[in-house]
């Protein structure tokens, strides 16, 4: 009889907290938000869905559904799971401003228009203060 394989979970292979942090950061940076949600699901399973269920007050079925990839989870659910598995989020401004990204993609006019709006906004605010 063939041996049953355990589902792949990347968190079974990380050896340091730095590796886990780097993985979660890269997943969060992905354009598809489901990549980060999927990573949180793997981390929740690594911690144990029963334990996450107790910590969040959400039932196990709801958690499995949240991380199934078939629904768009609510922010409240994601935040509760993050707290339960000790994931903290630090908000930083992107080092690559949006107008530069648009210009790099060929939307130079839109990027320059945004830059002009930002410039006008800052001039107005500094003159009134």
Q: Which pLDDT tens digit goes with each residue over 40-73? A: 999 999 999 999 999 999 999 999 999 999 999 9
Q: Are residues 69 and 113 in the same domain?
A: no
- Number of domain units in the chain: 2
pLDDT band at 120 (very low <50, low <70, confident <90, very high): confident
pLDDT in tens, 85-109: 999 988 877 776 655 555 555 566 6
Cβ pair 129, 121 in contact under 8 A: no
Dihedral sign computed on CA atoms, order 54, 64, 69, 21: positive
Q: Are residues 71 and 20 in the same domain?
A: yes
- Print the domain residue range for 119: 98-128
Q: What residues have CB less than 8 Å from 126, skipping those under 6 apart?
A: none
Residue 37 lies in a domain: yes
Q: Are residues 78 and 28 in the same domain?
A: yes
Q: Are residues 74 and 103 in the same domain?
A: no
Q: Are residues 70 and 26 in the same domain?
A: yes
Residue 40 lies in a domain: yes
């Amino acid at each position: 009889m063939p041996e049953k394989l355990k589902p792949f979970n990347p968190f079974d292979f990380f050896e340091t907290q730095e590796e886990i942090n780097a993985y979660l950061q890269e997943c969060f940076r992905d354009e598809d938000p489901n990549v980060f949600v999927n990573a949180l699901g793997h981390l929740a399973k690594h911690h144990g869905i029963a334990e996450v269920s107790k910590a969040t007050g959400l039932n196990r079925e709801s958690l499995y559904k949240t991380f199934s990839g078939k629904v768009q989870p609510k922010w409240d659910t994601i935040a509760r799971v993050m707290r339960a598995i000790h994931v903290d989020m630090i908000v930083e401004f992107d080092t690559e401003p949006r107008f530069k990204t648009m210009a790099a993609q060929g939307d130079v006019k839109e990027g320059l228009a945004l830059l002009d709006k930002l410039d006008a906004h800052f001039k107005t605010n500094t003159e009134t203060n």
